[in-house]
Amino acid sequence: MAYFYPVGNTPAVSLTQGLPHEKRADLLLLGCGDIRHILFTAHCDPARQLDTTCRDSTKAVIARNILLLSLILDDTKSANPLLWDLYYHFRVDKASLNLLEAQARKLCTLSTSLQAWHQSEYGQRIRLCGQGSLAAVREMWSFYAKSAAHPDLFDAESNMRIQAAREDRSNPFRGTTPPSNLTVLRSTAPTTLMTGEDLSLEYTRYWQRGTTYRGKDAALHGNPMFHPLDSNVHLHYATDPLLGFHLATTYAPLDATQTTSAVSPSQPSTPAEGARAEFQSWILSLRKAAKPAVLRFFIGDALAFSHFLQHKNRLGNTRPAHWHRAWFDFEPLVLDTNDYAENGPAPRVFDVIDTSNLIDYVGAIGVLAATSPLLKNDAPATIFTENLIRESKTHKELMDNLLFGDLQTVSTLLGLVPVEVVTNTSPSCTRDETIILAIISAGKDQREAAPTSRQLFSRIPWKRPIMLNKGSGRLQLGVILRFSSTDLANVLHSVYTKMFENQKPTTASKLNAGTRDNRSNFAAFLRLVKTQVKGDWRETMETLIGFIQARATQGSQMAENDYTEEVCT
């Protein structure tokens, strides 16, 4: 069984926070999810011209995002409360369904072809990267329209799916009173200790009623926008609309004369009310932006999309890339020939690349090897990676193990440097994670806190290294390393050994555990390293392959024989 994540589970961030003011920026959201980061960036940086490419593997996520954006563009007064209901509630009223049906039918009518969509009223600002992505979102919009038109038929399936999510055996909140989803505490900083039980009660109420409203009983119908077409994909049990917002305004004084016990008339009285107010302000900012943003959407595999763009940057359209759009899919990855032509308007290198928490699923080496060549060679340009799944006890241990070797050495081989490590400073604070872990440690019922205890959130910025050119005395971006063939082969073999140490055939489970870090990611890493070092590359590879083959003949490492060929292919 797989999970559907319709809304974000970490607070929204401004993607352009480290860029010079008002400079045009090309952004890549490689793990797009919902559009909270897009809206919040437009809210924080309204004067900047943005071209944002959004990739997600789930067609329902992208279909939801485009439908909401089209409604925002249509909502000239920025006052329609149904936008919040459709995007964040899994139970809605008849008025919301009527709006969904009308808008979904409208989008289907406008998207008969890629050319028709790009010439439509939304096509200037909302671009689809290829025919495959268009067909996928159109299928979802057709489903939304049909389901919204016949709510009595759809409600039975909706109720069954929601009940399955509530009773999910993986759900550690099941049977607890009240459920304690401590991850929402990240959204309350810096007022984390002032929240009491408010947030647990909000989460309970949301899953009981399907809405964030108190005392509003008209939400009788299932929301098709919370249901992917795949019957094996279920709404995640920790889905909570409040996780993506900044809820401190509910608890903190809003002016210098206000005490914490006094509530301003303009201050939200509940966390949900605060989230709705923030959402409304984001929408208003997007509509009033001085320079209209362009948003491009692609549905498919993250690494395939990144390597495809690398291929386009190296060879243009002279040779086919031979990438497929998604795993377990024979559909070739083809992008729009106009936008992605040799001199087309679609960006292929970026000022900011946000990878969400993809490294939890495909590994840091795989993500950084795929994205580093797509980062502009510019000092402010940044790649952001996030960790959410807890595999280390502390943030220091997480960083020490992230790249399977000395962090500064391996990151430089990737053409990057982890800014916070080398500067020993950070613009973000880990205090909230410390508080969450302290609450877990002090809690009497560890089962209630289990989801959070399996998380350790971190957001890491990576930039191009800067070195002093001794000849000119000036700073320059990028570092070309000099290695002897044997020394470099030793470094690479050490990374290889640690990267795949879980594939020792000591147990059947470990033998099958190598799905996150695979040989194709290591091969992509080698291809990138080749561009970052000076030396005899052929001799380095011959030495490395010799080390790997010698390792494969050891009795405790027999599983290596099954994989060595993947590196050499």
Nearest to 431 by CA among 478, 469, 395: 395
Handedness of CA 384, 387, 392, 395 (dihedral sign): positive
Asked if 9 and 186 touch (Cβ cutoff 8 Å), the reply is: no
Q: Which two tokens stand for residue 330?
A: 């024979």
The CA-CA-CA angle for residues 351, 353, 356, to 5°, reads 155
pTM value?
A: 0.92
pLDDT in tens, 310-340: 999 998 887 888 899 988 788 999 999 899 9
Asked if 29 and 54 touch (Cβ cutoff 8 Å), the reply is: yes
Q: What is the bridge-based pairing of β-strands 50-56 and 2-4?
A: unpaired
Q: CA-to-CA distance for 569 and 390, rounded, in angstroms?
A: 33
Print pLDDT tens along the chain (569 aa): 689 999 999 999 999 999 998 789 999 999 999 999 999 999 999 999 999 999 999 999 999 999 999 999 998 877 789 999 999 999 999 999 999 999 999 999 999 999 999 999 999 999 999 999 999 999 999 999 999 999 999 999 999 999 988 887 566 655 555 556 777 888 888 887 777 678 888 898 999 999 999 876 678 899 999 999 988 888 998 899 999 999 988 888 666 555 444 445 556 678 999 999 999 999 999 988 878 899 999 999 999 999 999 999 998 887 888 899 988 788 999 999 899 998 999 999 999 999 999 999 999 999 999 999 999 999 999 999 998 887 777 878 888 899 999 999 999 999 999 998 888 777 777 667 777 777 766 654 444 444 445 678 889 999 999 876 666 667 677 777 899 999 999 999 999 999 988 766 554 344 344 457 889 999 999 999 999 999 999 999 999 999 998 876 765 554 555 566 666 65
Asked if 131 and 175 touch (Cβ cutoff 8 Å), the reply is: no
pLDDT in tens, 355-372: 999 999 999 999 999 999
Nearest to 477 by CA among 364, 352, 404, 382: 382
- Ranges of beta strands (E only) in 437-555 are 455-463, 466-468, 475-477, 481-482, 533-534
Which backbone phi and psi does 534 adopt, to 5 degrees?
-110, 130
Nearest to 490 by CA among 527, 544, 533: 544
Handedness of CA 81, 84, 86, 92 (dihedral sign): negative
Q: CA-to-CA distance for 38 and 42, rounded, in angstroms?
A: 6
